Amino acid sequence: MTEKIYYFDNNATTKIDPYVLEEMLPYLTDFYGNSSSMHDFGGGLGDVVEKARKQVADLLGAEDPSEIIFTSCGTESDNAAINSAILSQPGKKHLVTSKVEHPAIINYFEMLEKRGYEVTWLDVDDQGLLSVDDVTGAIREDTALVSLMWANNETGVIFPVEEIASELKNRGVVFHTDAVQAAGKIPIDLKNNDITMLSISGHKLHAPKGIGALYVRRKTMFKPFVVGGHQERGRRAGTTPVAQIVAFGTACELAVKNMEKENTEVKKLRDLLEKLIAENVKSVEFLGHRDKRLPNTANISFGYVEGEAILLLLSENNIAASSGSACSSGSLEPSHVLRAMGKPFETCHASIRFSLSIYNTEEEVRHVCSVLPGIISELRKISPFTPAELR
């Protein structure tokens, strides 16, 4: 019998919803044709792809499903947005982003710096918040793109992207937002804001890995990142992964239905987790703004211990959490997000991220909070930095 896993790492990836899997499976087993084929067995699958495109558009509040381009993941969507912006404006060599972005943005921008582009790296405050004035103050005549995440993957802190988008539209600047963490957790209404391009990923909202989407507002000049066949109206080449797309569309439809639950029940569980930890563990610091954050995310630093050691002992108790972005795991460097917030190395190295989903329960939260104090206590006993009163 498989042991129960207490999964609190949903910002890294989520389980596939059983209904999503049920809807997906026939397109792996029975209806496996190529949707670009001339015959009905393959070509007839175009209708289910377009149904899914509308489901994604509905989650994002897009005006037209044709604004949705299917990709392989959030990273590809981010890269495609950046690539299109710079190719569409070859005379502009200035880019703007923040110091707390996902590696999909940071590493691409660093590569572009080596190719002669100038990047303005915006600061955040000690709560992880970004100033709209800092964004607008960074704009120049040669600014090709501003790319800022909607919600941070490590702290859950939400940026004022809709206000930023409005300001940038008035200045004629292309604006892309990485909404991989935000989609399905907070409302998005692209019909009523000025965001130019937006990235999301299926595996962050209970669809399988290997499918994502890029929203491109109508009348926006777009240059493809993946070049080849005619798929996605010539905007993203590659054989259409019908099963993954069906799953993604179904997951987006469920996300619309579960949005209220994310912001009530999941938030209540996240708050309970923080409350119990604060009551039972001394010398902890809650990182990121308390209110302007996703309803599912808690980032907590436990003084005088190493985050990696906490994670290993949690894992021995079948509890899955994280020390930051899963895309940066294995690095001994402290979180770039927390460092950008001005946190000392000791705080960064002692931080743990708990991220919940609609599948978490109060029993699971209470179990984690019954195990965690003992782990912290044992680690502090062997830490040379622990003051006497905490041993």
CB 146 within 8 A of CB 164: yes
> Closest Cα to residue 81, out of 199, 163, 254, 209?
199
Helix ranges, 129-189 (H): 132-137, 161-170
Question: Residue 340: which H helix or E strand, with range?
Answer: helix 336-340
Positions marked active-site: 327
Length of the chain measured in residues: 391
Structure tokens at 250: 């179904």
**What is the spatial distance between Cα 389 and Cα 375, in angstroms, rounded to a whole number?**
17
Structure tokens at 76: 């590809």
370 SS3 class: helix
Question: For 22-26, which contacts have Cβ atoms below 8 Å and span 24 or more sequence positions?
Answer: 23/246, 23/247, 23/250, 24/208, 24/243, 24/244, 24/246, 24/247, 24/250, 25/243
> Closest Cα to residue 100, out of 129, 137, 77?
129
CB 57 within 8 A of CB 65: yes
**What is the spatial distance between Cα 63 and Cα 20, in angstroms, rounded to a whole number?**
25
Locate the DSSP E strands across 47-132.
Answer: 68-71, 94-98, 118-122
Is 155 buried (19+), middle (13-18) or exposed (0-12) by CB count in 10 A? buried
**What is the spatial distance between Cα 391 and Cα 383, in angstroms, rounded to a whole number?**
9
Facing residues of 103 across strands? Answer: none
